[in-house]
């Protein structure tokens, strides 16, 4: 199988990048998309060129480190899937595949396809935890949590922090990411003590990181590899109002 | 040097208590004066960093990923064991201890293994408090399921994302302490050497993976929490970035390597489909709770799985191990699959897989129940293979997975270098020659949260008055210079072959000779072959780009150079052990039925290897079984 990759190359944060084309042959349908890029990189090394910098780690859809724009869509042509789970059988022989980094002001490009998502860590830092020290826990079954409550928390907690929601949003909003974490913790009895403070501080951090506002287009939930619903955003907004009244 | 495991006095049940009573304490004012480096931010690293910070130490935590949340603990799907006995099915700390010791084929310490079981119950309490959404019953209590090698239900889980959920809890707690300015976090940073001053671990050399700059960090103690090294096989269930370099540098600086060859081959990964493959995706072992493993009775059966009638299917695990069936431990299930595949009964395009079938489970429990239990795993399977496993069986195959081996540590989790600790998968401690499913998240967590924070004080108490190290010390100059020249040497070769080429070569040798089944001639040959790969690498590898920039190719080359040397040690260790135990199966030592033959008279010890200028010297820590009698491990 042969394709033409058109890939964003950018030496560093301050450089002006550009799309470069690479014709790649010798691919198979069973290869993952990232393995096709590995293959291209091996060819580049042998041609004495610098490799394309792109991110990955687990390559099984759970670490959240991979993520590029492929033909104008976050994580490629399918809904709810990470880049590492995409296989070349989703493309045809002779296809041209355009590959770009996440585009968002809050995710500056570091090099080629690699962006800096540390803004997410800083949102987490502002309250995505339960302030209890190791060694202070009561017996696990002491607080019963109904299955529906636990399942709902799990649905929200499934976020892998890949940033596709931000990348695909026309406003570069981090509302889906932030709301998922807030609803996970605020939905559980253990998270109640700090619920209002958590909502206020995390949403504030989201704003100062420069993420845009949510206008409910729903684009994020289409790309979210964990299928996290935008209902979470509505719930977060309700919690913000509540925290202003009660917090 | 005589290895002293520092096992505390007393009955098994009292040892940890006795240890803590006698361990030295440090007052809170003095803890502030002490710095600890933690390398790795997975369950053990993040757990240790946050807990040590809560206790008052100043912590620097490093990871090579872009965020602490990516650490590979994230990938564990199935669950975490704890002796809570919530299911009222006869579980206890003792039974869990015994299952783990037996699962490891009696090649781990009684005291360590008991402590693992003992601390499992409070760990579940801890994670629930941290907001982990474990599976619940309608009444609100926690659910359990079974895992391999065990006849009780003691596994807690959060859908198929248990590792991810536990890591999120650990990462959140870590960032809570970042916010409190007690932890400084260094993502995109890779440790490239350990700095030892007057025989004690006092710092590390780190490469900033964005700028390429080499940086020095000094501390009163160094904790390695760098995970497993099965990427030595290239194809494994591990993340692509997982590596053995931190361990290997520490080994070269004096830390003994324990049982390096003990590697778990996981029975339920997706089969390899091409030469270009970079990774073998794991399907959780929990699937074996309800899935049944089989191959056709007829060789090269051309029919589709669903067209093969019941009486023509060989449920070989149920046939060979009737009492444990599909829940036989991993080493046994993997070898049994290999036996069928090698005998020509493999399925799939490359005949390298076996079936994992949910037909009966769906008939029995209904589609909805199976979806609730394993929905995301089935979804993942479909994403990767394009096949709907609700309708036809999955195809699975064994893959390199967990490193039971690692840096040798004593009861305090300290290596043979004073002040250097190894926690989580990167040490050799609790699992012996084979790890039971759902004990990995457990060990990483208890090491980081509960054990290390209660043992490191015993060392640091004596460091308060000692000179605090500074990065101007000549030992830092020397270490940094060595790292620098190593990088320059790799870049200067400018040969004709890629890093991945050599990694594939290494992987093939390791998989062929040092994986599920090993023999003397094969291992001797493998050592020679790996030495040839080493020579070829250092004369023909080509790495483009520079050292002073983000250079993923250089990162891979440095990691591979260490994997090559580690591969030689793994084969050396496997060659030395003339017996079969757990995952270490030497073909010369088996019964007529193909079961492992352990040789307790000669090999009831932990091998601990000392690096000796390119060679390895064996030390032995005898395993003394004071409380249980090692038996022949049978799952029939």
Q: How close is the nearest chain B Cα to the Cα of A141, in Å?
A: 6
Is there a contact between A236 and A183 (Cβ–Cβ < 8 Å)?
yes
pLDDT band of B284, cuts 50, 70, 90: confident
- B130 with A190: Cβ contact below 8 A: yes
- A157 with B239: Cβ contact below 8 A: no
DSSP string over B387-423:
--TTTS-EEEEEEEEEE--EEE--TTSB-SSTTEEE-
Of A61, A125, A190, the CB nearest to B380: A61
B52: closest chain A residue by CA? A134
Is there a contact between B100 and A100 (Cβ–Cβ < 8 Å)?
no
Average pLDDT, chain B: 96
- CB contacts under 8 A, A 29-68 vs B, are 30-32, 34-35, 38-39, 41-42, 44-46, 48-51, 53-65
A64 contact residues in B (CB cutoff 8 A): 69-70
**Which residue is associated with the tokens 């869509």?**
A73
B380 contact residues in A (CB cutoff 8 A): 60-61, 85
The number of beta carbons lying within 10 Å of the beta carbon of residue B360 is: 12
Stretch(es) of chain A classified as CATH 1.10.1060.10: 118-246
Q: How close is the nearest chain A Cα to the Cα of B48, in Å?
A: 10
Best CA proximity match to B129, nearest among A153, A151, A179, A185:
A185
- B129 with A89: Cβ contact below 8 A: no
Whether residue B124 is contained in a domain is answered as no
Between CA A74 and CA A52 the distance in angstroms is 18
A41: closest chain B residue by CA? B553
Q: At what angle do helices B474-493 and B552-576 cross, to 10 degrees?
A: 100
pLDDT in tens, B516-574: 999 999 999 999 999 999 999 999 999 999 999 999 999 999 999 999 999 999 999 99
- B277 with A161: Cβ contact below 8 A: no
Q: At what angle do helices A195-208 and A175-186 cross, to 10 degrees?
A: 170
B54: closest chain A residue by CA? A133
Q: Which two tokens stand for residue B68?
A: 């602490």
Q: What global pTM score does this model have?
A: 0.97
Structural domain including B524 reads: 474-598
Instruction: Count interface pairs A-B at CB distance under 8 A.
Output: 221
Is there a contact between B114 and B15 (Cβ–Cβ < 8 Å)?
yes
Between CA B439 and CA B450 the distance in angstroms is 15
- B133 with A61: Cβ contact below 8 A: no
CB-based contacts of A136, cutoff 8 Å, min separation 6: B129
Same-domain check for residues B485 and B585: yes
Q: How close is the nearest chain A Cα to the Cα of B300, in Å?
A: 22
- A53 with B552: Cβ contact below 8 A: yes
Q: How close is the nearest chain A Cα to the Cα of B277, in Å?
A: 7
A87 contact residues in B (CB cutoff 8 A): 384, 386
Beta strand B394-403 pairing with B354-357: antiparallel
Between CA B528 and CA B513 the distance in angstroms is 12
Once rounded to an integer, what is the mean pLDDT over residues B42-67? 98
Decide which of B346, B366, B400 is a domain's last residue. B400
What is the pLDDT, as a whole number, of residue B274? 81
Number of domains in chain B: 2
Between CA B288 and CA B356 the distance in angstroms is 8
Is there a contact between B381 and B160 (Cβ–Cβ < 8 Å)?
no
- B241 with A34: Cβ contact below 8 A: no
The number of beta carbons lying within 10 Å of the beta carbon of residue B341 is: 21
B134 contact residues in A (CB cutoff 8 A): 150
**Interface with B, mutate which of A124, A138, A198 (most B CBs under 10 A):** A124
The number of beta carbons lying within 10 Å of the beta carbon of residue B187 is: 20
Does A120 touch chain B if contact means CB atoms closer than 8 Å?
yes
Q: How close is the nearest chain A Cα to the Cα of B20, in Å?
A: 14
CATH fold of A118-246: Fumarate Reductase Iron-sulfur Protein; Chain B, domain 2 (1.10.1060)
pLDDT in tens, B322-349: 999 999 989 999 999 999 999 999 999 8
A89: closest chain B residue by CA? B386
**Interface with B, mutate which of A62, A66, A87 (most B CBs under 10 A):** A62
pLDDT band of B372, cuts 50, 70, 90: confident
Q: At what angle do helices B552-576 and B245-252 cross, to 10 degrees?
A: 60
What's the CATH number where B347 sits? 3.90.700.10
pLDDT in tens, B225-248: 999 999 999 999 999 999 999 999
A49: closest chain B residue by CA? B544
Beta strand A18-24 pairing with A3-9: antiparallel
What is the pLDDT, as a whole number, of residue B634? 81
Whether residue B435 is contained in a domain is answered as no
Whether residue B132 is contained in a domain is answered as no
- B165 with A157: Cβ contact below 8 A: yes
CA distances from B513 to A115, B147, B585 (A): 40, 29, 11
Classify residue B497 by its DSSP letter.
B
Does A89 touch chain B if contact means CB atoms closer than 8 Å?
yes
Same-domain check for residues B372 and B487: no
- CB contacts under 8 A, A 211-240 vs B, are none
Does A23 touch chain B if contact means CB atoms closer than 8 Å?
no
A57 contact residues in B (CB cutoff 8 A): 65, 70, 72, 239-241
B495: closest chain A residue by CA? A46
- Backbone φ and ψ for B402, nearest 5 degrees, come out as -105, 145
Best CA proximity match to B509, nearest among B557, B434, B567:
B567
- Backbone φ and ψ for A4, nearest 5 degrees, come out as -110, 120
Whether residue B85 is contained in a domain is answered as no
Q: How close is the nearest chain B Cα to the Cα of A43, in Å?
A: 9
What is the pLDDT, as a whole number, of residue A133? 97
- B240 with A59: Cβ contact below 8 A: yes
CA angle (A203 as vertex; A201, A208 as ends), nearest 5: 90
> Does the ipTM exceed 0.95?
yes
What is the pLDDT, as a whole number, of residue B636? 82
pLDDT at B148 over 80: no
Once rounded to an integer, what is the mean pLDDT over residues A104-128? 98
What's the CATH number where B563 sits? 1.20.58.100
Average pLDDT, chain A: 97
Does A192 touch chain B if contact means CB atoms closer than 8 Å?
no
Does A25 touch chain B if contact means CB atoms closer than 8 Å?
no
Q: Which two tokens stand for residue A33?
A: 């998309």
Half-sphere exposure of residue B409: CA atoms within 13 angstroms, side-chain side? 34
CATH class label, A3-111: alpha beta
Beta strand B605-612 pairing with B615-622: antiparallel
pLDDT in tens, B509-522: 999 999 999 999 99
Q: Which two tokens stand for residue B60?
A: 């620097």
B175 contact residues in A (CB cutoff 8 A): 121, 124-125, 128-129
- A160 with B164: Cβ contact below 8 A: yes
pLDDT at B1 over 80: no
- A60 with B380: Cβ contact below 8 A: yes
Whether residue B316 is contained in a domain is answered as yes
What is the pLDDT, as a whole number, of residue A130? 98
Of A12, A45, A132, the CB nearest to B498: A45
Whether residue B11 is contained in a domain is answered as no
Decide which of B379, B400, B421 is a domain's last residue. B400
Q: What percent of chain B lies above the pLDDT cut of 90?
A: 90
The 10 Å CB-count burial string (b at 16+, else e) for B454-488 is bbbbbbbbebeeeeebebebebbeebbeebeeebe
Half-sphere exposure of residue B591: CA atoms within 13 angstroms, side-chain side? 9
pLDDT in tens, B202-226: 999 999 999 999 999 999 999 999 9
Is the sign of the CA dihedral B468, B208, B45, A159 positive or negative? positive
Q: How close is the nearest chain B Cα to the Cα of A166, in Å?
A: 17
A194 contact residues in B (CB cutoff 8 A): none
Half-sphere exposure of residue A191: CA atoms within 13 angstroms, side-chain side? 26
3-state secondary structure of B560: helix
Q: How close is the nearest chain A Cα to the Cα of B18, in Å?
A: 18
Best CA proximity match to B163, nearest among A145, A60, A91:
A60
CA distances from B106 to A205, B173, B312, B603 (A): 52, 35, 38, 11
Whether residue B542 is contained in a domain is answered as yes
Of B136, B171, B500, the CB nearest to A145: B136
B241 contact residues in A (CB cutoff 8 A): 57
DSSP string over B69-112:
GGSGGGG--S-EE----TT-SS--HHHHHHHHHHHTTT-S-HHH
- Backbone φ and ψ for B503, nearest 5 degrees, come out as -65, -40
pLDDT in tens, A160-215: 999 999 999 999 999 999 999 999 999 999 999 999 999 999 999 999 999 999 99
- A126 with B273: Cβ contact below 8 A: no
What length does chain A have?
247
pLDDT band of A247, cuts 50, 70, 90: confident
Once rounded to an integer, what is the mean pLDDT over residues B392-419? 97
């Amino acid at each position: 199988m042969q394709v033409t990759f058109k890939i964003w190359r950018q030496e560093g944060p301050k450089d002006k990048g550009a799309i470069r084309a690479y014709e790649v042959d010798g691919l198979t349908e069973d290869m993952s998309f990232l393995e096709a890029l590995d293959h291209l990189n091996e060819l580049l090394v042998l041609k004495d060129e610098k490799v394309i910098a792109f991110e990955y780690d687990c390559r099984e859809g759970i670490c959240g480190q991979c993520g590029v724009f492929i033909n104008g869509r976050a994580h490629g042509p399918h809904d709810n899937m990470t880049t590492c789970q995409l296989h070349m059988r989703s493309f045809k022989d002779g296809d041209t595949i355009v590959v770009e980094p996440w585009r968002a002001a809050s995710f500056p490009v570091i090099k080629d396809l690699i962006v800096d998502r540390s803004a997410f860590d800083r949102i987490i830092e502002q309250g995505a935890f339960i302030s209890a020290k190791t060694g202070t826990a009561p017996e696990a079954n002491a607080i019963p949590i109904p299955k529906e409550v636990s399942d709902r928390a799990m649905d929200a907690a499934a976020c892998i922090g890949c940033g596709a929601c931000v990348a695909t949003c026309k406003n570069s909003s981090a509302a889906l990411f932030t709301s998922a974490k807030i609803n996970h913790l605020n939905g559980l009895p253990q998270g109640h003590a700090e619920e209002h403070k958590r909502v206020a501080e995390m949403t504030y951090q989201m704003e100062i990181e420069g993420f845009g506002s949510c206008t409910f287009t729903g684009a994020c939930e289409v790309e979210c590899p964990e299928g996290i619903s935008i209902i979470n955003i509505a719930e977060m907004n309700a919690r913000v109002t509540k925290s202003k009244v009660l917090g | 040097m005589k290895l002293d495991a520092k096992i505390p006095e007393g009955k098994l049940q009292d040892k940890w208590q006795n240890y803590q009573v006698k361990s030295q304490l440090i007052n809170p004012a003095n803890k502030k004066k002490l710095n600890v480096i933690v390398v790795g931010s997975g369950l053990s690293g993040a757990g240790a960093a946050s807990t040590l910070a809560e206790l008052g130490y100043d912590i620097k935590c490093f990871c090579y990923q872009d965020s602490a949340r990516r650490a590979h603990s994230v990938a564990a799907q199935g669950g975490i064991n704890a002796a809570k006995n919530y299911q009222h099915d006869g579980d206890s700390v003792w039974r869990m201890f015994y299952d783990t010791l037996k699962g490891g084929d009696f090649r781990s310490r009684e005291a360590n293994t008991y402590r693992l079981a003992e601390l499992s119950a409070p760990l579940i309490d801890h994670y629930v408090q941290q907001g982990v959404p474990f599976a619940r019953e309608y009444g609100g209590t926690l659910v359990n399921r079974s895992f391999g090698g065990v006849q009780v239900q003691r596994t807690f889980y959060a859908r198929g994302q248990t590792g991810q959920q536990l890591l999120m809890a650990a990462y959140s707690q870590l960032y809570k302490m970042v916010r409190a300015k007690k932890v400084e976090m260094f993502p995109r940073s890779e440790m490239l050497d350990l700095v030892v001053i007057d025989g004690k671990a006092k710092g590390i050399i780190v490469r900033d993976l964005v700028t390429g700059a080499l940086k020095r960090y000094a501390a009163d103690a160094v904790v390695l929490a760098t995970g497993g090294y099965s990427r030595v096989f290239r194809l494994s269930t591990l993340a692509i970035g997982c590596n053995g370099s931190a361990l290997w540098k520490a080994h070269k600086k004096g830390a003994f390597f324990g049982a390096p060859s003990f590697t778990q081959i996981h029975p339920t990964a997706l089969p390899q489909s091409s030469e270009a493959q970079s990774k073998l995706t794991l399907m959780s072992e929990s699937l074996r709770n309800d899935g049944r493993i089989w191959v056709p009775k007829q060789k090269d059966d051309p029919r589709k799985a669903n067209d093969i009638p019941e009486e023509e299917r060989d449920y070989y695990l149920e046939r060979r191990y009737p009492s444990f069936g599909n829940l036989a431990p991993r080493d046994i299930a993997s070898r049994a699959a290999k036996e069928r595949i090698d005998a020509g009964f493999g399925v799939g395009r490359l005949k390298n897989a076996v079936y994992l079938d949910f037909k009966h489970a769906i008939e029995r429990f209904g589609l909805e129940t199976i979806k609730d239990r394993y929905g995301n795993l089935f979804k993942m399977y479909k994403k990767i293979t394009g096949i709907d496993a609700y309708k036809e069986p999955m195809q699975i195959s064994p893959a390199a997975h967990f490193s039971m081996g690692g840096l040798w540590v004593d009861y305090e989790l300290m290596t043979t270098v004073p002040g250097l600790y190894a926690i989580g998968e990167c040490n050799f401690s609790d699992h012996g020659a084979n790890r039971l499913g759902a004990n990995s998240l457990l060990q990483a967590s208890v090491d980081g949260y509960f054990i290390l924070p209660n043992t490191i004080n015993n060392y640091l108490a004596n460091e308060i008055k000692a000179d605090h190290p500074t990065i101007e010390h000549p030992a830092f100059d020397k270490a940094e210079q060595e790292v620098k020249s190593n990088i320059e040497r790799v870049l200067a070769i400018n040969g004709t072959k890629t890093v991945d080429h050599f990694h594939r070569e290494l992987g093939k040798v390791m998989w062929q000779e040092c994986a599920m089944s090993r023999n003397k001639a094969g291992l001797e040959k493998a050592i020679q072959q790996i030495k040839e790969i080493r020579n070829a690498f250092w004369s023909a590898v080509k790495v483009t780009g520079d050292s002073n920039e983000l250079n993923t190719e250089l990162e891979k080359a440095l990691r591979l150079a260490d994997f090559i040397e580690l591969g030689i040690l793994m084969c050396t260790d496997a060659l030395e052990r003339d017996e079969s135990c757990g995952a270490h199966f030497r073909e010369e030592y088996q019964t007529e039925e193909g079961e492992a033959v352990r040789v307790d008279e000669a090999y009831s010890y932990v091998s601990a290897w000392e690096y000796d200028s390119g060679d390895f010297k064996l030390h032995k820590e005898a395993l003394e079984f004071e409380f249980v009698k090692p038996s022949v491990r049978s799952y029939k």
